[in-house]
Amino acid sequence: MPHPSCFAPPSCSAKPAQRRARRRLGLLALLFPLVGCATQAPPRYAAPAYPSAAAAAAEVPRTRVGLLLPLSGANRPLGQAMLNAAQLALFDQADPAIEFLPRDTASTSAGAAEAARSALREGARALAGPLTLTETAAAAGPARAANAPMMAFTSDAAQAGNGVWVLGTTPAEQAERVANAAAEAGARRFGLLAPDDEFGRRLAAALRARLPALGLPPPLVVLHARLGDPGAAARDLAGQAGSEGLDAVLLGLGGERAKAAANALATALPVKPRLLGTVLWAQDPVVAQEPALAGAWFPGADPATRAGFDQRYQAAFGDRPPRLAGVAYDAAALASRAARESQGGAPVSAMGQPMLGADGPIRLAPDGLAQHGLALFAVDPSGEPRMIQSAPIPGAPGS
């Protein structure tokens, strides 16, 4: 199916479904008053403002942003949801000077590189996407050659830097968030149990870097084969801890494997440690219902902010968005800001204060990583996680 060549509020032909979606976006404008009419102190981060329909229709010179999305093939439904989220970001920004150029990556490295080149040939000053780390590596070359900032959806930190920003929540962010919280609560001896893969190794590297910065000893780390026995690995970790035990253990595991590890640690250590998890636990029914994991902490999106995004998306497009649609929303908003800033010659790494993304506060760091404000949750016997710390503002003191 061919994809739209551009998206801006008043121009470009569209298919009937897209026109209906835009009409719904237009109706939304009538439901929300303008934000910021009264004099007030500057917000801690930029919240969306809703324009009038007349303002959205104004014809102005436009700055183009390329959207690199899987608009065909098996990932087409996800790509369409991401395109919808990008359109919502454009509406929320109320900036008629931005025009989106959606380009199909076909979920391949070659397709992503050509999508980037196509958008850049058409005058895109910044790019949002693509989806995977291999696609990001392929599209980064054309983007860097054109000096066009790229906001990639991946969480692979190895892709970051030199004009490419990684917008996914990285393993290092997750490890640092829970380690900081556990240390504040009094934990001193930390352990890590995770598979011996890229995710597990990055969790280990993050803990090894963060704990000494907190004045704590390095963690005890056990990385096991992906298909190995997590219970046996947990007993190995407990054996290394000895009679001193551990105050907190980060589990880079989910589902039945997290359940097996938690039960083994409960019997193998002299005192049950504080168990810590990752953002994947928010969607894990096994973790939610496992007694051995009750009270365990894990990071996640700010629930109120995400609920607001979900509601706006559903009102505009008639469906609940998938989780990854939030990354597309953030990438589209940040790429638009980068395109505007680059026109004035300002460095993208100094684009100002954090903005409110789909999942909470987010800001770009000079090293090419996005910093996310992650809330902290506890696994609750009710099956619904309980928020125990709200999302901090990235870059603020103590965050």
- 282-300 pLDDT, tens per residue? 999 999 999 999 999 999 9
Q: What is the CATH number of the domain that holds 217?
A: 3.40.50.2300
Which of 17-21, 32-36, 209-213 is predicted least confidently? Answer: 32-36
Predicted local confidence at residue 5, as pLDDT: 53
**End position of a domain, from candidates 283, 300, 317:** 300
Work out the average pLDDT over 153-177: 95
pLDDT bucket at 57, cuts 50 / 70 / 90:
very low
287-340 residue pLDDT tens: 999 999 999 999 999 999 999 999 999 999 999 999 999 999 999 999 999 998
**End position of a domain, from candidates 245, 276, 300:** 300
Are both 312 and 367 inside the same structural domain?
Answer: yes
Phi, psi of 181 (to 5 degrees): -65, -45
**End position of a domain, from candidates 253, 269, 300:** 300
Closest of 300, 196, 202, 203 to residue 249, by C-alpha: 203
Cis peptide before 291 (omega within 30 of 0): no
Mean pLDDT (the chain) is 86
Q: Which helix (H) or strand (E) holds 196?
A: none
Are both 159 and 211 inside the same structural domain?
Answer: no
Work out the average pLDDT over 19-38: 40
Residue 127 or residue 353, greater confidence: 127
User: Is the pLDDT score of 16 beyond 80?
Assistant: no
Both tokens assigned to 297: 């902490």
Are both 197 and 255 inside the same structural domain?
Answer: yes
Residue 388 lies in a domain: no
Residue 392 lies in a domain: no
Does this model's pTM top 0.85? My answer is no
Are both 153 and 272 inside the same structural domain?
Answer: no
Scanning the structure block, which residue is given the tokens 């589990």?
A: 251
d(CA 360, CA 372): 7
pLDDT bucket at 39, cuts 50 / 70 / 90:
very low
Q: Which residues span the domain enclosing 293? A: 171-300
Are both 331 and 251 inside the same structural domain?
Answer: no
d(CA 228, CA 393): 39
Which of 78-92, 158-172, 385-399 is predicted least confidently? Answer: 385-399
Are both 175 and 164 inside the same structural domain?
Answer: no
